Amino acid sequence: MAIKAKTGAEVIVDVIQQQGVDHIFGLPGGAAIPIFDALVDSPLKLILSRHEQGATHMADGYARATGKPAVVLVTSGPGATNTITGILTAQMDSVPMVIICGQQTTWNLGLDAFQEADVSGISFPVVKHSYLIKDPHDIPRIIREAFHIAQTGRPGPVLIDVPKDISSAVFEPDYNQEFHLPGYLVHGDVDKEEIVEAARLIEASERPILLVGHGAVISGADKALMYLVEKLNIPVVNTLLGKGGFPETHALNLGMLGMHGTAYANKAVDACDLLISVGSRWDDRIVGNVEKFCVTAKKIHIDIDPSEFNKILQMDVTIQGDAKMAVEALLAVARPGNTKEWLKQIERWKKSFPLKYKKSGRLCAQHVIDEFAKQAGSAGIFTTDVGQHQMWAAQYCLTDNRFHWISSGGAGTMGFGFPAAIGAQLAHPHNPVIAVVGDGGFQMTLNELSTAVINKLPVKVLIINNNFLGMVRQWQHLFYGNRLSGVDLEGNPDFVKLAEAYGAKGFRIKRSADVKRIVSAALAYNEGPCIIDAQVSKEDNVFPMIPAGASLSDMILEPPKHTMAKPVGST
């Protein structure tokens, strides 16, 4: 049977469909018109963003909420370069994404033609791989390779640059082209000797801690971790992106560790004699001072990416492989040590150093966030930007589901939370999705309110509005003698009127007494997006806190009475 000739754009859409994709996030332009034209006759649903950065964050949120790769489609030049922040965010947090960019015609490449940019070259430092297609017959193979690379091993973004004459070319496609990528082979079983050695250390340990990182979330190791933890009776801490990898409501979970982790998690890690990391990359916000981090403890590191081994800390045992497979292998052979006295000590720390805030007087950000978490319940999906609101949300929005916490970790991207919530809401239309954002970060991508309104997405945008870039102000207050510079957000809009201008619903909270009622009303509103402008105390700080570059034992639990020394760490 003769193969039907198609345009390159039609072939692109065909192969994307074959990968199981149902949504594409993007914004058109001249160089991408053929591909957008091909979408007209396809079942793929186009989510038209108002900015290309918003499209990448939406795709990111969709991917993290489903575990599946997401697709972005934009045009050339500035359209393509506007995606770089979103690509960096996905790369830092290991999110599978395929970004397709229109490009100038092949005969204009390198001639500074209209809206030409070498985006495949520009993107190389922040992607797993970049392609520039110069032969239309390569389209089926390259699209399939891109999806394979994005999902294989440690996930990440892959960019494909498509010149307009390539997407317009008519040819007979071969959808069965083979590809050979020996560098992206899926590894088999984990090393049995390493598993046995890890089990020996666990049995000999009296004060073990298990650290759950994003790799555990990505691999779906949650059930295996539950069995392992309960078999061994080991307390658990998690990274910011490890939330949900092990149930945060479980009695053995101590919550997040690190710069703004719980006091009892940090004290436990500081005192442990064995630290078992599952899918964590030992971020500087966890380790702080490398020379003083768990100096006497043995360390086990499980990770799919061997380049992470011994990069920050020297390990006693390293186990390369998929986190779920490694945990299941460990579960089969590991035997518990004597952790009875260790668990008693941890309970004493939990009672002595709980998270707390006031529910009267000035409106506390923690109060509003905590109320949303309680009323949304186990169905709630939370997304965040970066900053104070992110840390408070991490402390109070506990989740038992690996797809219900979506936050910009490695890149710390302002403006991420709201568009990511749009992607998450599309993935889970029946769950309450709450974007917890700051008044600074929200203003970077608030134009996507149109996207949420048009698609009737009931996303709740909780703005922790303190009229400051709060985390920077906190640092300037604590370490720079309160010499505030560039953090006052004078000129903020009226966010309730802003919501109404976009056709969304607006709520405002000013008093603690109104929190419960307004949160309930916001969660009940499902006709489209709504904004909750929470006008919180302007100068509250996030505690506990470990100054950047300091050790776990340097943690401060309350406001210091004097200016502290400037931190040696970056952030």
Catalytic residue numbers? Answer: 52, 114-115, 164, 471
Task: Give, for 533, the enclosing helix (H) or strand (E).
Answer: strand 530-535
Distances (CA, A) of 59 to 32, 85, 87, 213, 415: 18, 13, 10, 22, 14
Inter-residue contact 445 to 45 (CB < 8 Å): no
Query: Between β-strands 157-163 and 129-132, what pairing exists: parallel, antiparallel or unpaired?
Result: parallel
Task: Give, for 392, the enclosing helix (H) or strand (E).
Answer: helix 388-396
Distances (CA, A) of 139 to 41, 224, 497, 544: 19, 39, 47, 52
Torsion of CA 160, 163, 164, 166, to 10 degrees: -90
Q: Exposed/middle/buried for 482, CB within 10 Å: 0-12, 13-18, 19+? A: exposed
How far, in Å, CA of 369 to CA of 530, rounded? 16
Phi, psi of 37 (to 5 degrees): -65, -40
Look up tokens 């409106």; give the residue. Answer: 363
Phi, psi of 24 (to 5 degrees): -125, 135
How far, in Å, CA of 64 to CA of 397, rounded? 17
Q: SS3 letters for 239-278? A: CCCCCCCCCCCCCCEEEECCCCCCHHHHHHHHHCCEEEEE
Angle of helix 417-427 relative to helix 52-66, nearest 10 degrees, comes to 50
Residue 28: CB atoms within 10 Å: 18
Beta-carbon contacts of residue 24 (< 8 Å; ≥ 6 apart): 16, 39, 44, 45, 46, 47, 71, 72, 73
Please give the angle made by the CA atoms of 537, 539 and 543, to the nearest 5 degrees.
Answer: 100
Beta-carbon contacts of residue 138 (< 8 Å; ≥ 6 apart): none
How far, in Å, CA of 470 to CA of 510, rounded? 18
Torsion of CA 87, 406, 436, 358, to 10 degrees: -140
Q: Which residues of 249-284 are buried (b: 16+ CB within 10 A; e: fewer)?
A: eeebbbbbbbbbbbbbbbbbbbbbbbbbbbbbbbbb
Distances (CA, A) of 352 to 167, 263, 356, 449, 552: 64, 9, 11, 43, 17
**What tokens does 397 get?**
């929005």
How far, in Å, CA of 267 to CA of 212, rounded? 17
Q: What would you report as the CA-atom Rg of the chain, rounded to the nearest whole angstrom?
A: 24
